Amino acid sequence: MTAFTTKELEDALTAKLMVNFGKTAEEAGDAEMLRACALVLRDAMALRSVETRKETRREKKKKVHYLSLEFLMGRSLQKNAYNLGVLPQMKEALEHLGFQAGDIFELEPDAGLGNGGLGRLAACYLDSLSTLEIPAAGYSICYDLGIFKQKIVEGQQVELPDSWKGIGSAWLLPKPEEAQQIRFGGTLREFWDDGHLHIVQEGGTTVLAIPCDMEIAGYNTRHTNTLRLWDAKSPKPVDMSLYSKGEYFKATEDEAMAEVIAKVLYPEDNHIEGKSLRLKQQYFFVSATVQSIAEKHLAEFGTLVNFHEKNVLQINDTHPALVIPELMRILIDDAGMEWDQAWFITTHSVAYTNHTVLAEALEKWPQDLFQQILPRIWQITVEIARRWQETCENFFHDMEKVRDTAVIWDGVVRMANLCIAGGMSVNGVSALHSEILKKDVFKNACAMEPQKFTNVTNGIDHRRWLAEINPRLHSLVCDLTGGERYLMEPEALKQLDDYAADREVLIRLADIKRKNKEDFAAYAKKQQGVFLNPDAIFDVQVKRLHEYKRQLLNVLHIIALYQRLQDDPAAITQPHTFLFGAKAAPGYAVAKRIIHLINSLADQIDHDPICEDKLQVAFLENYRVSLAERLMPASEVSQQISTAGKEASGTGNMKFMMNGALTVGTLDGANVEMHDVLGDENMFLFGLRSDEAAAVRREGYVSQRLYNRDPVLHRVLDALKTGFRDGVNYEDLYQRLLFGDRGGPADEYLLLADFQAYCDAEKRMAQTYADPAKWNEMSLHNIARSGIFAADRAVRQYADNIWHVPHR
Ligand code: 26W
């Protein structure tokens, strides 16, 4: 199975350096060597990918197409070497050639083509799709700039552009001969020809979509899939007549217009901004994708009539929802089908995953914008909406429900309803979330077609998030569960439960955590100059900054602890370090204020001698995949404290659990299923349940009452008003919690309602930590029972229940 011996790798790397840079290994620097490594592995994967496609064609297999505006891939070198089974050889070859493997890996930029959970999920699923030998491809945009780099300057977030492509592009294989043309704007001309109405789009602009392929090797297989990233280019060459007249900017105008489409990833997470560029991005990548799939299908089968039997398009949230009208367009305008046949094929090809219930994240496009940018797609969408509404009217005979399920209403196109109408399946991403979709968010649509609605609980790539990033724990697992078996059968982790009373195993586990903490502390010192005390509890909350995720609740508790310490310097016996990592969307002012607050508090505590060796807060700059990879193995407490009912699933929670951290959390998202397997005794649950949270809101929640009733809470909130030693005050956040602002409700996410329960949970946690035997036993149970959260399990469920494709 090994792709290379050490010697073969050395030769291949030397040859690559020579051909690409005209340098020998002695002359080359780290960056050139990194590129050479990527190119050598890319060649090997490209070969396997060709074989995989050949076999798929030969056996006429059904293919899965995973469309997502985000793939948060992170780094690839170590991962690809690992999956190709050449990681030890690669390290050896590098050392032989005079390089430090660790330095080379560390030099690789993250491919940050995503915001958070939804994008990372897509990346984890690509790994499982290949490993499970499912013929599949991912599709997205080849953004020039991924998610911004975060710097903290005077406590505040500053965004810097992330140009990852310098070295990162070594993984990409451009295929200009497979370019597609994408049409925007213009007008429609209709005419009859041999008994058919033809519609052509005239005028407007055309943008070229150029595929740049990134190969995705599976583990323990030669099966290799492709992530196809579309780059945007103008089809028109630079206008030389303008150029020679000295009008340089005008001459390159078309080019600039086209290229802006693939320029930058939208950094909003769970909040939409109805910007025309975003709609163009969506149609650009959807149209290129559907055209290329249809083209290949036609070449293979000579017809599109059986398209749905050989293809399934899984769409990651509503962002690629335009596949529905776009596939209709191709079937009707290009293949000449009648509406009903086209609709049958479309509604048997597309499946939709929902990832959020937040109202502000549900995509809605103004009709005018839609119509102007996509005239033909608009026409088709109107017809889909008309027919769907007729079906709804006949089913409900109730105007309120017809309004609720409509695709177009009040001049607005609602993408979720389009996906429900045009998809064969709608799934949520945890048991609780899928129930909320059925009973609440999509209840009317669900009454009409209950068979469409289902659940697939999220999963993570356990080979990356355990084996690769936590080698010490990996060896322990191997020793106790029969070697590397768990890599292909994550459920084998369960065997660890048998060692819960084994003192030696528990000590080894504690030792691993300790070493990982020391490693992380050394890294933090080097990168950010912060000193982390490895004797302290590492209590971690890392995720996008959003009010519903309640980083602010975490902060309120820390302030309470700090104030207790003021009164009684002996109040804390166990040193406690709180770690935060979070990017805020650049336009999300409140989220940015919370980042500032965390840094103000960190600074205050840092300068107060009372806190020394007792209490610490650190904000980790620029949280991203590669930082998570270092942090997860070193974490002891995982903060998963969203307002119940709001976090669709969470996947960070799973990464922590798999690395032996204990969860302090609410019964939200996949925490519920973690609790199902762990029980009360192996996690620290607290707070309102999702139905209770809904009831509290219904019955008229008044946060001020809690403030007036609870002296601890009162004092904590007053500290926000005063601020800390840096002189910044947080009266705005105080106002928001107690009175609301800009017409919004006070304390929308019920922080005050859960405050006391949260403090109690943290107290239980700290008490348990004081009993290492108990703690390590719980930690072991967490690892043992994390197998169900492997992406392999999730992808098999998609394959069996939604895609109907075979797998390993
Ligand atoms: C249009 C702006 C926008 C961008 C991204 C709206 C919504 C999104 C995503 C749906 C937000 C997201 O990443 N959701 C997360 O998806 C994860 C994977 O399913 C879940 O684990 C998280 O709970 C959910 O917040």
Please give the domain boundaries of the chain with CATH numbers for all domains. Answer: 514-783 (3.40.50.2000)
Amino acid (one-letter) located at 738: L
CB of 668 closer than 6 A to ligand 1? Answer: no
User: What's the one-letter identity of residue 255?
Assistant: E
Which ligand 1 atom is at minimum distance from the Cα of 120? 18
Give CA–CA dist 30/337, Å, rounded. 56
Residues with active-site annotation = 355, 543-544, 549, 651, 655
pLDDT at 2: 66
> Is the CB–ligand 1 distance for residue 649 below 6 Å?
yes
Confidence at residue 777, expressed as pLDDT on a 0 to 100 scale: 98
Q: Please work out whether the CB of residue 651 comes within 6 Å of at least one atom of ligand 1.
A: yes
Distance of alpha carbon 45 from alpha carbon 679, whole angstroms: 43
From its phi and psi, is residue 64 left (phi > 0), alpha (psi between -120 and 50) or beta?
beta
Pocket residue to mutate for ligand 1, from 270, 642, 674, most atoms within 8 A of Cβ? 270
Exposed, middle or buried by CB within 10 Å (0-12, 13-18, 19+), for 57?
A: middle
In angstroms, what is the span from residue 787 Cα to ligand 1's centroid? 23
Which residue from 118, 427, 458 has its CB within 8 A of the most atoms of ligand 1, so it is best to mutate? Answer: 118
CA–CA gap between residue 627 and residue 582 (Å, rounded): 11
- Please list the ranges in the chain whose pLDDT falls under 70: 1-2
What ligand 1 atom has the least distance to the C-alpha of 358?
7
* Neighbouring-strand partners of residue 454: 427
Instruction: Assess whether the C-beta atom of 669 lies below 6 angstroms from ligand 1.
Output: yes
**Residue 458 CB less than 6 A away from ligand 1:** yes
Whether 162 and 147 have beta carbons less than 8 Å apart is answered as yes
Q: Is the pTM of this model over 0.95?
A: yes
β-partners of residue 315 are 67, 352
pLDDT computed for residue 484 by the predictor:
98
pLDDT at 246: 77
Q: What is the pLDDT of residue 361?
A: 94
C-beta separation of 582 from 543 below 8 A: yes
CA–centroid distance, residue 409 to ligand 1 (Å): 25
**Ligand 1 atom with minimal separation from the 70 CA:** 5
Q: Where are the alpha helices (DSSP H) in 667-750?
A: 671-678, 690-698, 703-709, 711-722, 731-738
Measured from the CA of 650, which atom of ligand 1 is nearest?
A: 21
User: By three-state DSSP, how is residue 129 classified?
Assistant: helix
E strands of 68-117, at which residues? 71-74, 111-113
Q: Residue 195 has what pLDDT?
A: 83
